[in-house]
Amino acid sequence: MRIRQATESDIPHILELVNEHVRRGDVLPRTAESIRETLPDWLVGIDEDEELVACVSLLFYTAALAEVRSLAVSDKAKGQGWGSTIVKALLTKAKQQGVPTVFALTRAVHFFQKLGFSITAKERFPQKVFRDCLACPLLENCDETAVVLNLNPVSVAHSIPVPQLSINKIPTQVRGEQKMSKSKRPKINKAVLAYSGGLDTSIIVPWLRNNYGCEVICFCANLGQGDEELEGLEEKAYASGASKVYIEDLRHEFAKDFLFPMLQSGAIYERQYLLGTSIARPLIAKWQVAIAEAEGAEAVAHGATGKGNDQVRFELTYQALNPTLKVIAPWREWDIRSREDAIDYAKEFNVPVTHTKKSIYSRDANLWHISHEGGILEDPANEPEESMFKWTVSPMDAPDEPETLKIDFEKGIPVAINDVQYAPAALIEKLNEVGSKHGIGRIDLVENRLVGMKSHGVYETPGGSILYACHRELESLCLDRDTSHYKEQMAVRYAELVYFGKWFHSLRDSMQEFITHTQETVTGWVRVKLYKGNIIVSGRHSQNSLYREDFATFGEEDVYDQKDAVGFIKLFALQMKVKAMMEVRDGGKTRYAAPVYSKFKRD
């Protein structure tokens, strides 16, 4: 077995091997950039065919503490001792570098015990907990065990890190990928931050000023998240250190230019999710770019974490609209790894923090929906608590009498409710109000995130659920079979593009052109009854309806002559007929031939 230091040419192969284990949930994801930055701390195993079959890395937290991580062995090499061999080589390297203590979080406890590790408490390693664990979706249900090995017994006392140790005090060459040194940061004079007023984006303001020395312009989009979240936002941003604050009411644009085109497409991600968070991010990022250009800013910044979907949605939009702008994602740079860290940072720089008690749920709200993640939802086996829901009443507590709505559409766009016309945003708000009262739009699903992990979320989308149901029914009247079926296939791809943050992709633009053309005849109304969580269709009508009773009669008509069916069926069955004729030639039988019942004796 050949174990050696990793080289630049190994990075794609390391990434491929690690990603295979990421998909299985064995290790955390790594990027090519993070591997390149910490390349001296990686070892690889090379087999006799010169193929990379094993890898492992050593992450330094302090000069006295390092973690064994990203251990991966290819399937073809498992059972041959590669894992133990490469870890032993890594431990030798750590000892040579004078590291007294190494640890790991693992499910393969027995494997590490055979190498001399002993089981310990995760709390001994607060740097790891703050850095990775607190951002992990499995935090509350973690099945990994902490194991530790003292390489230098004399230094054991120094190997137990103290919680107050700041990573900022660790030399840059030891911190590795944890933090970008100031010398490597690009020169920034102005940055536009996507600002929500929450704890994270509030401390990003002084963090940008302290670490990039730049002026920070805050931008907040009113997408219908509610007055409570917007109240006092401008004052808070200025108090946090912003030089300028933009708060734009984008509800009309959100509904007209984003939600309704998506509604026309019929896009639903993984058969249930109506894409409420996904569709909002490109609009926020679009305005960020516009403000950056107007203000002469060189950078845009966001508060999305490095493990979720939103970082991709923001940054793909930045790239599509202005690739010259620099992107700053503090969660991928800073040392803040817990809510307590963030509160301490806020206090240090006089950032106003009015709420220090964090909800057990992570939520995102806008005009289209409200989402819930975290808390007991981390275990998909748990039923959501009724107190978790913010918009909709329980279907069991909904009124005992149904409520009837009539929704009018023009070219696939909803324009009126019960014959009263509404502007786009107002129409959705009205349907949210009515739908919530009847428990409409609750969705509980496990979805596949873009980054490869699964997540469990609960969504409330009352108005959107009503509109999707009505639009689908009207299309059933107005679209022919082939167009309808093709559009259904396209909707799956369209949903992926939205979920992946590719709203401004040329494919989505081209698909929208086709979709808009299909909606030319989708004009009419649909009547539904809302009853205890159900949307019950009770009628639909369109002047462009392709359903014609006079064309579908069973008598002989000018449009359809039943005798025409004979030739049609013969042609339609021709391929099947030719194959069967091949099978019966020379006295054979088709593979579907029925048994000859006359040969069987009766009881």
pLDDT, residue 132, reads: 56
**Tens of pLDDT, residues 12-53:** 999 999 988 887 777 888 888 889 989 999 999 999 999 999
pLDDT at 174 (0 to 100): 29
Confidence tier at 475 by pLDDT (50, 70, 90): very high
Average pLDDT over residues 413-429: 97
Q: What is the mean pLDDT of the chain?
A: 87
Q: What is the pLDDT of residue 565?
A: 87
197 vs 301 pLDDT, higher one: 301
Does 197 score more than 60 pLDDT?
Answer: yes
How many helices (H) and strands (E) would you count in the chain?
21, 21
**How large is the average pLDDT for residues 455-463?**
96
Taking only the tens place, the pLDDT of each residue in 167-181 is: 232 233 322 334 555
Q: Give the pLDDT confidence score for residue 600 in this predicted structure.
A: 61
- Cα-only R_g, the chain: 30
What's residue 167's pLDDT? Answer: 27
Question: What's the rounded mean pLDDT across residues 418-430?
Answer: 97
Can you tell me the mean pLDDT for 89-118? 90
pLDDT > 90? residue 274 = yes
State mean pLDDT over 187-198: 94
Residue 173 has what pLDDT? 30
Domain 368-479+522-541, architecture per CATH: Alpha-Beta Complex (3.90)
If you average pLDDT over residues 304-321, what whole number do you get?
92
**CA angle at 259 for the pair 258 and 265, rounded to the nearest 5°:** 95
For residue 469, is pLDDT > 80?
yes
pLDDT given for residue 112 in this prediction? 93
- In this model, does residue 201 exceed pLDDT 70? yes
Give the orientation angle of helix 574-584 with respect to helix 564-572, to 10 degrees: 60
Q: Once rounded to an integer, what is the mean pLDDT over residues 545-570?
A: 76
Confirm if 342 and 355 have CB atoms less than 8 A apart.
no
Rounded Cα distance, 500 and 497, in Å: 5
CATH number, domain 182-363: 3.40.50.620
Residue spans of alpha helices (H) in 115-215: 126-131, 156-159, 172-175, 199-212
Cα–Cα distance, 102 to 159 (Å, whole number): 8
- Alpha carbon 80 to its chain centroid, in Å, reads 38
In this structure, of 112-126, 466-480, 486-500, the range with the lowest mean pLDDT score is: 112-126
Instruction: Check residue 120 and give its pLDDT.
Output: 87
């129409």: which residue's tokens?
427
Write the single-letter amino acid at 30. R
The C-alpha atoms of residue 35 and residue 57 are separated, in whole angstroms, by 9
Two structure tokens written together for 45: 């195993």
Angle between helices 506-518 and 481-499 (to 10 degrees): 150
- Residues 518 and 479: beta-carbon distance below 8 Å: yes
Calculate mean pLDDT across residues 461-486: 98
pLDDT of the residue at 136: 54
Contact 75, 109 (CB under 8 A): no
Task: Assess whether pLDDT exceeds 80 at residue 133.
Answer: no
Decide yes or no: CATH 3.30.1360.180 for domain 2-173.
no
**Residue 427 buriedness (CB in 10 A; 0-12 / 13-18 / 19+):** buried
Task: Write down the domain spans for the chain.
Answer: 2-173, 182-363, 368-479+522-541
User: Is 596's pLDDT higher than 70?
Assistant: no
The confidence score (pLDDT) of residue 436 equals: 98
Q: What pLDDT does 554 receive? A: 53
Name the amino acid, one letter, at 353.
Answer: V
302 pLDDT above the threshold of 70: yes
- What average pLDDT does range 221-242 have in this prediction? 92
pLDDT tens-digit readout, 146-175: 899 998 653 333 333 322 322 232 233 322
Phi-psi region of 173 (alpha: psi -120 to 50; beta: other; left: phi over 0): alpha
**In whole angstroms, what is the distance from residue 249 CA to residue 235 CA?**
17
Cα 463 to chain centroid, rounded: 22
List the beta strands (DSSP E) in 506-595.
524-531, 534-541
Mean per-residue pLDDT for 460-474? Answer: 98
Going by C-alpha positions, the residue among 13, 27, 141, 2 that lies closest to residue 80 is: 2
Token output for 332: 């991928």
Q: Chain centroid to CA 581: how far?
A: 53
Give the model's pLDDT for residue 555.
54
pLDDT band at 339 (very low <50, low <70, confident <90, very high): confident
> What's the pLDDT band for 130 if we cut at 50, 70, 90?
very low
Residue 182 binned pLDDT confidence (cut-offs 50, 70, 90): low
Determine the Cα angle at 458 with ends 455 and 459, to 5°. 120
Residue 144 CA to residue 149 CA, distance in Å, equals 16
Residue type, 45: G
pLDDT (0 to 100) of residue 126: 65
> Sheet of 326-328: strands edge to edge?
244-249, 215-222, 190-194, 299-301, 326-328
Give 13: exposed, middle or buried? Use CB within 10 Å, 0-12, 13-18, 19+: middle
Task: Summarize the chain as % helix, strand, coil (round to 5).
Answer: 45, 20, 35
Catalytic machinery residues? 200, 281, 310, 362
| Nearest residue to 45 via CA among 95, 91, 83, 18 | 83
Phi, psi of 587 (to 5 degrees): 80, 10
Please answer whether residues 52 and 93 qualify as being in contact, where contact means their C-beta atoms are separated by less than 8 angstroms. no
Q: Which DSSP string do the residues of 294-332 spell out, in sequence order?
A: HHT-SEEE----TTSSHHHHHHHHHHHH-TTSEEE-GGG
In eight-state DSSP terms, residue 258 is I
Q: Which two tokens stand for residue 251?
A: 């509800």
**Count of CA atoms in the C-beta half-sphere (13 A) of 433:** 8
Q: What residues form DSSP beta bridges with 529? A: 404, 536
How far, in Å, CA of 101 to CA of 91, rounded?
10
| Nearest alpha-carbon partner for 146 in 114, 108, 175 | 108
Q: CB 410: neighbour CB atoms within 10 A?
A: 12
pLDDT tens, position by position, 355-382: 545 567 888 999 999 999 988 999 999 9
Kindly report, residue by residue over 487-524, the tens digit of the pLDDT.
999 999 999 999 999 999 999 999 999 999 999 999 99
